[in-house]
């Protein structure tokens, strides 16, 4: 079958290949060679993934010190949130190895809890945490997102209380005293003079609150603060509650109609940052980590921003909420023997519970540690020039115990989005009918929430793995 060089037909084989074919053949050869010679990164004994650039920077020195004194050594890799979610799931679902330590965000971790309890890809740490006394040492609400069916699958990284960041330059220039604000109604009333229409086009070009009906994060912050929930303690959906309806109605009245106070300056986008710099919005939800995001992305606002506790839903109500959350988990595939697990857990504890990290986290990431014994550290009393000399550490710690607990249901993201759908539809109906009265909206919100509840129930009930076996007790009890 090999062409004979002497045969007169040989040139026709060569002519059978078009120029594109030659080009592609050359490309194939070159790329193969390039891949063969491409320098591959040095491999360490164990790998850890994180999704947050600031964490990556902070952990570096701590891990270097650990590696100098311990074995196995740890190699830290930074991954985007989206790729990490996919790779974690891909590895849990196929039983293949991913990293040895996974630092994951809440919405990703919950994905691991979809299957049967024995198929959760993380090692169950409950007994270990109890035995080592960590359960008492760490702020209790911080465990909730990592607890599924009574078992804890990760070490909490943070508390992430939410405050309200406001443009102190604008507020103070208008002679407004934020101490007069206790509830959201106070907030709208006291801040109202700031909503101005400077260019005279009939539309205000400054709004009081950076919040929009299409952002699920904003919805969850407000909902949790108000005492609303997606799931009850046994992970059954309770979406169509009175509290949830009231929150939805309020948000709609903030985004539309005569009482509108909110506008959309999306976080983490250059466009949103420009709007914030321009003073399009006065106040923004600020979890502790957001202070760090602002320092880097909005350096121009240094000294022009301050923090205040969230206005409560009613007098004497909760003045904090929670946004985001991270844990460190150990995949089952990484800890096949008890000795392997011991060494990985020792590192995890060293990384998350050390005083060094608590200080680093706050200095470089503005994140407060969930380890309560570190809260007296002087670092948390350092004034922050970016926030006009306020002491953000102390302010966030004071709110830590008031942070609402959260569900770990794998259907949380689903519930969140179905509730967001209800909100969007309610808002559209309000605009269509011109009804912005909160009582009327609450009633309609209930209608949409019932639909959302139905849809989430449908998915939850369809999961054969979460169904308790007939006649048997629920696992873990």
Partner 1 sequence: MSKRAAAPWILMTPFLAIFGVFFIYPVVRALTLSCEQTFGAGHSEFIGLANFRRLADDPLFWKALRNTTIFTLGSVLVQLPLALLLALLLETPGLRGRRIFRVLLFSPAMVGVAFAAVIFAVVFEKRTGVLNRVLHSMIGLDLDYAWLQDHVMGAMIVAALWMYTGFNMVFFSAALQNVRTDVVEAATIDGAGPWSRFVHVIVPAIRPVAGFVVLLSVIGSFQLFELPYLMLNTTAGPDNRGLTVVMYLYQAGFETGDLGYASAIGWMLTILLVAIAGVQRWLARAEGVHS
Partner 2 sequence: MIALLNSPTRRTRRLLATILLAAACIVTLLPYVWLLCASLKSNSIFFDSLLLPGGDGPLGLNWSGITIDHYIRLFRDLDFGRSLVLSVFYSSVTSLLATLACAMAGYALARLRFRGKWLITTIVLGAVLIPAPLLLAPGYLLLYKLSLLDTMAAVILPAAAPAFGVYLFRQATISSVPPELIESARIDGAGDLKTFFVIALPLLRPMVGTFLMITFLGVWNNFITPQVVLQDPTKFPVAVSIAQLRGVYYQDYGLQMAGTLAAIFPLLALFAFLQREFIAGLTAGAVKA
* Residue 302 interacts with which of partner 2, partner 1, none, CB < 5 to 8 Å by class: none
Query: Taking the complex as a whole, how short is the minimal distance between the CB of residue 80 and partner 1, in angstroms?
Result: 10
Query: Taking the complex as a whole, how short is the minimal distance between the CB of residue 81 and partner 2, in angstroms?
Result: 4
Instruction: Tell me the C-alpha to C-alpha distance, in Å, between residue 452 and each of 91, 111, 241, 363.
Output: 31, 20, 11, 42
* Residue 17 interacts with which of partner 2, partner 1, none, CB < 5 to 8 Å by class: partner 2
For partner 1, give the closer residue by CB, 4 or 71: 4
For partner 1, give the closer residue by CB, 162 or 219: 219
* Residue 38 interacts with which of partner 2, partner 1, none, CB < 5 to 8 Å by class: partner 2
d(CA 139, CA 466): 29
For partner 2, give the closer residue by CB, 1 or 439: 1
Query: Taking the complex as a whole, how short is the minimal distance between the CB of residue 24 and partner 2, in angstroms?
Result: 5
Instruction: Tell me the C-alpha to C-alpha distance, in Å, between residue 434 and each of 257, 320, 444.
Output: 8, 32, 13
349-353 long-range contacts (CB < 8 A, ≥24 apart) are 349/132, 349/134, 349/155, 350/62, 350/66, 351/59, 351/62, 351/63, 351/66, 352/155, 352/156, 352/157, 352/328, 353/134, 353/137, 353/155
Query: Taking the complex as a whole, how short is the minimal distance between the CB of residue 47 and partner 2, in angstroms?
Result: 11
* Residue 52 interacts with which of partner 2, partner 1, none, CB < 5 to 8 Å by class: partner 2
Query: Taking the complex as a whole, how short is the minimal distance between the CB of residue 467 and partner 2, in angstroms?
Result: 22
Which tokens sit at 66?
A: 């650990």
For partner 2, give the closer residue by CB, 12 or 433: 12
* Residue 31 interacts with which of partner 1, partner 2, none, CB < 5 to 8 Å by class: partner 2
According to DSSP, the β-strands at 321-322 and 161-167 are antiparallel
Query: Taking the complex as a whole, how short is the minimal distance between the CB of residue 124 and partner 1, in angstroms?
Result: 17
Binding site for partner 2 (CB under 8 A): 1, 3, 9, 12-13, 15-21, 23-25, 27-28, 30-32, 34-35, 38, 40-41, 52-53, 79-83, 86-87, 90-91, 94, 96, 98, 268-271, 274, 293
* Residue 115 interacts with which of partner 2, partner 1, none, CB < 5 to 8 Å by class: partner 1
* Residue 458 interacts with which of partner 1, partner 2, none, CB < 5 to 8 Å by class: partner 1
220-243 b/e with 16+ CB inside 10 Å = b? bbbbbbbbbbbbeeebebbbbbee
Instruction: Tell me the C-alpha to C-alpha distance, in Å, between residue 287 and each of 291, 301, 308, 365, 454.
Output: 7, 17, 11, 11, 32
Instruction: Tell me the C-alpha to C-alpha distance, in Å, between residue 304 and each of 167, 203, 215, 382, 394.
Output: 6, 25, 25, 18, 20
The β-bridge partners of 48 are 76, 101
Binding site for partner 1 (CB under 8 A): 82, 86, 89-90, 92-95, 111, 114-116, 119, 214, 264, 269-271, 274-275, 417, 420-421, 424-425, 455, 458, 462-465
């Amino acid at each position: 079958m090999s062409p004979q060089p002497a045969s007169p037909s040989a040139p026709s084989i060569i002519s059978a290949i078009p120029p594109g074919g030659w080009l592609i053949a050359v490309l194939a050869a070159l790329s193969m060679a390039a891949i063969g010679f491409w320098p591959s990164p040095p491999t360490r004994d164990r790998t850890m993934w994180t999704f947050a650039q600031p964490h990556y920077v902070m952990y570096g020195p701590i891990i270097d010190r650990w590696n100098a004194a311990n074995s196995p050594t740890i190699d830290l890799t930074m991954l985007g949130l989206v790729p990490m979610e996919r790779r974690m799931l891909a590895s849990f679902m196929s039983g293949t190895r991913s990293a040895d330590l996974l630092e994951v965000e809440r919405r990703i971790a919950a994905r691991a809890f979809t299957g049967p309890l024995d198929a959760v890809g993380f090692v169950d740490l409950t007994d270990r945490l109890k035995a080592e006394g960590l359960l008492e040492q760490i702020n209790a609400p911080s465990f909730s997102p990592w607890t599924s069916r009574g078992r804890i699958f990760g070490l909490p990284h943070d508390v992430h209380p939410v405050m309200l960041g406001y443009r102190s330059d604008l507020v103070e220039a208008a002679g407004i005293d934020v101490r007069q604000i206790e509830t959201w109604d106070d907030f709208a009333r006291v801040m109202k003079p700031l909503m101005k229409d400077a260019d005279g086009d009939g539309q205000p070009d400054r709004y009081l609150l950076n919040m929009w009906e299409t952002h699920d994060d904003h919805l969850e912050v407000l909902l949790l603060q108000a005492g609303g929930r997606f799931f009850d303690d046994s992970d059954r959906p309770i979406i169509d509650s009175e509290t949830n309806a009231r929150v939805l109605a309020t948000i709609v009245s903030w985004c539309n109609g005569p009482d509108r106070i909110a506008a959309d300056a999306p976080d983490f986008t250059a466009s949103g940052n420009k709007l914030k710099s321009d003073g399009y919005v006065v106040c923004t939800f600020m979890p502790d980590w957001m202070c760090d995001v602002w320092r880097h992305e909005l350096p121009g606002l240094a000294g022009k921003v301050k923090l205040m506790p969230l206005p409560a839903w009613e007098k004497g109500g909760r003045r904090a909420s929670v946004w985001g959350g991270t844990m460190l988990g150990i995949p089952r595939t990484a800890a096949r023997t008890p000795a392997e697990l011991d060494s990985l857990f020792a590192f995890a504890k060293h990384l998350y519970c050390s005083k060094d990290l608590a200080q680093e986290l706050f200095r470089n990431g503005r994140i407060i540690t969930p380890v309560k014994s570190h809260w007296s550290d002087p670092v948390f009393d350092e004034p922050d020039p970016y926030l006009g000399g306020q002491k953000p550490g102390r302010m966030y710690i004071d709110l830590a115990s008031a942070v609402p607990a959260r569900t770990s249901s794998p259907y949380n993201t689903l519930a969140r989005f179905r509730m967001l759908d209800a909100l969007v539809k309610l808002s559209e109906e309000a605009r269509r009918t011109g009804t912005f009265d909160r009582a009327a909206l609450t009633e309609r919100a209930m209608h949409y929430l019932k639909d959302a509840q139905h849809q989430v129930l449908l998915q939850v009930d369809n999961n054969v793995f979460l169904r308790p076996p007939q006649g048997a007790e629920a696992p873990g009890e």
